[in-house]
Chain A
């Protein structure tokens, strides 16, 4: 186990507003970020499980890395509870309004600041950005091969054997290490946290000295990132305008307040639905 080619695995995770709970949702469906609950990006759960599965297989060390404001430490606790070995929080006010390119730049510098790795796992995408861009942008900066949409994999010797989703099917690929992998949500869901991990996190939430052994907070100066290349300044894109779209339409013929049979009858009579019956 210990002579595996894989010694260090990084998993990149993000805290996002919790859209599963009603809290922080305005009546019109927009988000009140100040009141919204926070959670680990659901796609990152698969990435975390992927990293932990490599740990099970090879005994490697798992490092969870996030970028965000100080409350983002919550998701690092989650990573530790599930079995991550150490965490880094990149937190800096100058990172505000970073787009995907600026985010990938800051994460690249953070990764360079740490000692080497053989695999980097990212979630397929985030639920708040929905772009799926940061993983490949990070791989470009690090000059790595990449396996995106990965739904299963195995480390075989010094190679990654992976299965990825493609249009209408799947593909098996073999990649050299180091490699960047984005994990699809058809991968194994995150397992339950370990009792040992949960106890340890309870302990280090109380004990700052212990906490600092597991969680290191860094800023742009520590990782040596040029602040002009990240944040708003380092972002080549901006959101220039937003339009409401919710009020469009209103021509829906509503069928309600009758017996189900009558409701369905109205629809089958008023549409061409039956023409397509087999």
Chain B
């Protein structure tokens, strides 16, 4: 069987038990789930350690990195160098690749055994984090906020509502801040009544700490007691084809198209402009993806990728908050839109008011004709 540790019996945490009310109870730790891909820590995990470090310091509690995988080697040390005080690790052949049920089993068992549950738990808004976080939240019946863009710790005075048992002043709440639906609003979501207070955060939003090799920390093994029911799903094959088209992380320039393209053919023009650059790639707004003009892997924004290129060229994109949170950290934003009142002009650095089907070809022309003079100008720089 898959049990590696026979000393402690498998223990199913009681789902209906309130984990803690933090008005009076001792404060728990801050946990950050650090996901691996092909045995490597994903950047989002290091970014979350950066964010988690600030929360843990405000709470004056330890920051723990949680990592599951196989042949972890130096990974726990890497996580400590990036800010973790503790690493909870599970190293087991059945955890080599992420699967919902085995990961959920190990995490829920371990969290359920804590005398003091974690104060908060952060996961990346990735296909893994968004798959796993709701399972844990539902298991412990605790609050979970999706796709946060800011995190903080602060007080909350709950004065009323239909449930008198919730009234009170709560210190040290997790402020989970995210854009709210179709509105130019940011919502602060709180759930101080039960720990852990959980949130997922999009990759690229938080800033990782510079690794400090002098940092030390404690590494704790999480018991692995998998059960036959945890193997109801098997992975036949995983194919990563990031190099075959969309590589946002290494792109200097992203040319993104939106609803203003008016049709799928517009993306050929986006590609033509992107190809004018040494490291250019094509992005898209959610609307363009929803309309089937371009595959989902190109989507930038709250429900797509968060990107930080040196230059972001937004063509026919209105600039809804959901798109903005995915690209606002770009070095320079150039927006092209027919509508001078488009929200994107509120946060772009340069705005061209005009028909993108005239502006973009002209831009291509000027970039191409600049090539001859490029060497000359770069000598002077």
Q: Which residues on A sit within 8 Å (CB–CB) of B143?
A: 99, 101, 235-237
Q: Which residues on A sit within 8 Å (CB–CB) of B141?
A: 101, 236
Interface contact B296-A30, CB-CB below 8 Å: no
Bound form: Cα–Cα A263–B361 in Å: 12
Interface contact A166-B238, CB-CB below 8 Å: yes
- The closest CB in chain B to the CB of A104 belongs to B138
Which of A130, A171, A238 is within 8 Å of B302, CB to CB? A130
Interface contact B134-A133, CB-CB below 8 Å: yes
Q: Which residues on B sit within 8 Å (CB–CB) of A125?
A: 303
Bound form: Cα–Cα A219–B241 in Å: 47
Interface stretch, picked from B212-220, B262-270, B272-280, is B272-280
Interface contact A131-B146, CB-CB below 8 Å: yes
Bound form: Cα–Cα A104–B156 in Å: 26
Tell me the smallest distance from the CB of B182 to a CB of chain A, in Å.
5
| Best-surrounded residue of A101, A104, A272 (most CB of chain B within 10 A) | A101
Which of A137, A139, A274 is within 8 Å of B374, CB to CB? A274
Within 177-199 of B, Cβ neighbours of A (below 8 Å) are at 179-191, 193-194
Within 117-141 of B, Cβ neighbours of A (below 8 Å) are at 126-128, 130-135, 137-139, 141
Q: Which residues on A sit within 8 Å (CB–CB) of B146?
A: 130-133
Interface contact A173-B359, CB-CB below 8 Å: no
Within 284-332 of B, Cβ neighbours of A (below 8 Å) are at 289-290, 292, 295-297, 302-303, 310-311, 320-322, 332
How does the 8 Å CB contact mask read for B325-354 relative to A, with 1 for contact and 0 for none? 000000010110000100101111111111
Q: Which residues on A sit within 8 Å (CB–CB) of B161?
A: 232, 238
Interface contact B184-A28, CB-CB below 8 Å: yes
Interface contact A145-B232, CB-CB below 8 Å: yes
Interface stretch, picked from A4-12, A73-81, A245-253, is A245-253
Which of B181, B276, B347 is within 8 Å of A252, CB to CB? B347
State whether the Cβ of B358 lies closer than 8 Å to any Cβ in chain A: yes
Q: Which residues on B sit within 8 Å (CB–CB) of A238?
A: 158, 161, 189-191
Q: Which residues on A sit within 8 Å (CB–CB) of B289?
A: 185
Q: Which residues on A sit within 8 Å (CB–CB) of B238?
A: 166, 169-172
State whether the Cβ of B1 lies closer than 8 Å to any Cβ in chain A: no
Interface contact A167-B37, CB-CB below 8 Å: yes
Within 68-92 of B, Cβ neighbours of A (below 8 Å) are at none
Within 62-111 of A, Cβ neighbours of B (below 8 Å) are at 99-101, 104
- The closest CB in chain B to the CB of A132 belongs to B130
- The closest CB in chain B to the CB of A267 belongs to B350
Q: Which residues on B sit within 8 Å (CB–CB) of A255?
A: 350-353
Interface stretch, picked from B2-10, B54-62, B362-370, is B362-370
State whether the Cβ of B253 lies closer than 8 Å to any Cβ in chain A: yes
Tell me the smallest distance from the CB of A79 to a CB of chain B, in Å.
20
Q: Which residues on B sit within 8 Å (CB–CB) of A128?
A: 181-182
Interface contact A241-B278, CB-CB below 8 Å: no
Within 153-178 of A, Cβ neighbours of B (below 8 Å) are at 161, 164-176
Bound form: Cα–Cα A252–B353 in Å: 12
State whether the Cβ of A184 lies closer than 8 Å to any Cβ in chain B: yes
Bound form: Cα–Cα A139–B349 in Å: 45
Chain A interface residue number, banded: 35 or more
State whether the Cβ of B46 lies closer than 8 Å to any Cβ in chain A: no
Which of A127, A132, A236, A260 is within 8 Å of B359, CB to CB? A260
Interface contact A148-B131, CB-CB below 8 Å: yes
Q: Which residues on B sit within 8 Å (CB–CB) of A167?
A: 37, 42, 126-128, 240, 242
Tell me the smallest distance from the CB of A83 to a CB of chain B, in Å.
22
Interface contact A237-B190, CB-CB below 8 Å: yes
Interface contact B351-A186, CB-CB below 8 Å: no
How does the 8 Å CB contact mask read for A28-41 relative to B, with 1 for contact and 0 for none? 11110000000000
Q: Which residues on A sit within 8 Å (CB–CB) of B280?
A: 276, 278
State whether the Cβ of B101 lies closer than 8 Å to any Cβ in chain A: yes
Interface contact B362-A248, CB-CB below 8 Å: no
Which of A138, A166, A189, A276 is within 8 Å of B127, CB to CB? A166
State whether the Cβ of A3 lies closer than 8 Å to any Cβ in chain B: no
State whether the Cβ of B144 lies closer than 8 Å to any Cβ in chain A: yes
State whether the Cβ of B24 lies closer than 8 Å to any Cβ in chain A: no
State whether the Cβ of A199 lies closer than 8 Å to any Cβ in chain B: no
Q: Which residues on B sit within 8 Å (CB–CB) of A264?
A: 352, 359, 362-363, 366
State whether the Cβ of B235 lies closer than 8 Å to any Cβ in chain A: yes
State whether the Cβ of A211 lies closer than 8 Å to any Cβ in chain B: no
Interface contact B352-A237, CB-CB below 8 Å: no
State whether the Cβ of A15 lies closer than 8 Å to any Cβ in chain B: no
Q: Which residues on A sit within 8 Å (CB–CB) of B297?
A: 165, 168
State whether the Cβ of A221 lies closer than 8 Å to any Cβ in chain B: no
State whether the Cβ of A42 lies closer than 8 Å to any Cβ in chain B: yes
Interface contact B346-A256, CB-CB below 8 Å: no
State whether the Cβ of A268 lies closer than 8 Å to any Cβ in chain B: yes
Bound form: Cα–Cα A145–B358 in Å: 51
Q: Which residues on A sit within 8 Å (CB–CB) of B138?
A: 101, 104, 136-138, 140-141
Q: Apart from A31-B183, A166-B240, what 14 extra A-B contacts exist at CB < 8 Å?
A: A101-B141, A127-B181, A141-B138, A165-B297, A173-B234, A174-B233, A175-B233, A179-B232, A185-B289, A241-B187, A256-B352, A261-B362, A265-B366, A272-B310
6 residue pairs from A and B, CB less than 8 Å apart: A133-B133, A233-B162, A238-B161, A238-B190, A254-B351, A263-B362
